[in-house]
Amino acid sequence: MSFPFSYSEQLRNPLQNNLASHIVGELFSADECDEAYRVISQWQGYHPTPLISLSDIAVSAGVDQIYYKDESGRFDLGSFKALGGAYAIDCLVRKAPENKLVVCTATDGNHGRSVAWAARFCEAECHIFIHAKVSEARADALAALGAAIHRVEGNYDDSIVACRNHAVKHGWQIVSDTSWPGYRDVPKLVMTGYSVMTHELIRQLGGTKPTHIILQAGCGAMAGALIASMWLHWGPDLPKVIVVESDSSDCVYQSLKRDQIHLVNIVQETLMAGLSCGEVSELAWPIIREAASHVITINDEGVGPMVRWLAHPTTKDRPAIVAGECSASGLIALLAIRQDPSLADEVGVDDRSRVLVIGTEGDTDAAVYAAIMRGDI
């Protein structure tokens, strides 16, 4: 099976493979990652999410292996984000259990569900800021977890501004997965929660090490967390890292071009809602800047076909996978790279490559997923 998957832009990072211990140490230590795993693995409903071999897609991509970390079943919240915001709230509550916590965040959906889920469990008041293009299905899912929903005009970055303003006015605690000058401690906890995926992956891979890792970037928090936690395990022998993002919110691409964080004005929202961020997290930026080999931008055209391919395997040896829109991005990037021989050679992807991708979400918007499966998207 083949589809015309393509990329919009690609950029080779001249600073690749320069990640060092002092940069990783600014985010977290191995002990802090171990503590996150210890805490989260004791939560009710915890189980490692599966690592699946995508044999049929690997054949079409002309690579040896594709490992797909399927986060669709994470705590029944449907995405890896369940690890981050919830872990941050857990830490805040344990640090000052006598305080009456009121939390707030801005979200496209998945991070907000993690925050609202943990807030309900901890009996904390929760306020979620969403922008105009967040679907009603995602807003309803947040409200069902007990959060007060505040819809604002504009895009994701505008919802962050609204959240920050209300937090200052009311004395609320922001629990964001992105960071900015003066706001780093809580996003560090969020990213440390994400490192649980690496803890699981190392065990699931056994002694095998991927040659390449393709990581999605919205604000870059997940990419930064996984790169840093994998570096703590593999050190300078880290697999080659490729970052993929939407071409309508290409903040990593634009920042690497300028060698500084650059704010992108999002004019057209992407179908991959979780990637719709206009600015790289201040915490994630130095890690991505020093570690990423390439950044690839893609449009929405390949999302529907890839989601359907994951749902309908073309070999009998892999399960059907319910994958959300963002989960398709790493695989689209891989197939796009393989269809450009010069880029594939530059990146070093060939028939011996073992590629790790993250299935970041399941059908977190059931209506969108149904439309994709009907072929309407």
Q: In what order do the strands lie in the sheet with 148-152?
A: 148-152, 125-131, 102-106, 173-174
**Residue from 69, 81, 188, 240 carrying the catalytic annotation:** 81
Amino acid symbol at 343: L
Q: Hey, CA dihedral for 163, 168, 174, 178, is it positive or negative?
A: positive
Amino acid residing at 231? W
How far apart are alpha carbons 281 and 287 in whole angstroms?
10
Percentages of the chain per state (helix, strand, coil), in multiples of 5: 45, 15, 40
Contact 278, 157 (CB under 8 A): yes
- Rounded to 5 degrees, φ, ψ at 12 are -85, 130
- Residue that the structure tokens 């390449």 belong to: 212
Retrieve residue 55's tokens. Answer: 């044999």
Q: What is the spatial distance between Cα 114 and Cα 16, in angstroms, rounded to a whole number?
A: 32
Q: Which residues contact 111 (CB under 8 A, 6 or more apart)?
A: 81, 84, 85, 105, 176, 177
**Closest CA relative to residue 39, chosen from 84, 96, 103, 99:** 84
Is there a contact between 323 and 359 (Cβ–Cβ < 8 Å)?
A: yes
Catalytic residue among 56, 70, 108, 300: 108
Catalytic residue list contains 81 = yes
Alpha-carbon distance of 16 to 60, in angstroms, equals 28
8 Å CB contact between 377 and 371: yes
The answer to whether residue 240 is catalytic is no
Contact by Cβ (8 Å): 136, 151 = no
Residue (of 108, 60, 49, 134) closest to 321 by Cα position: 49
| Active-site amino acid positions | 81, 108
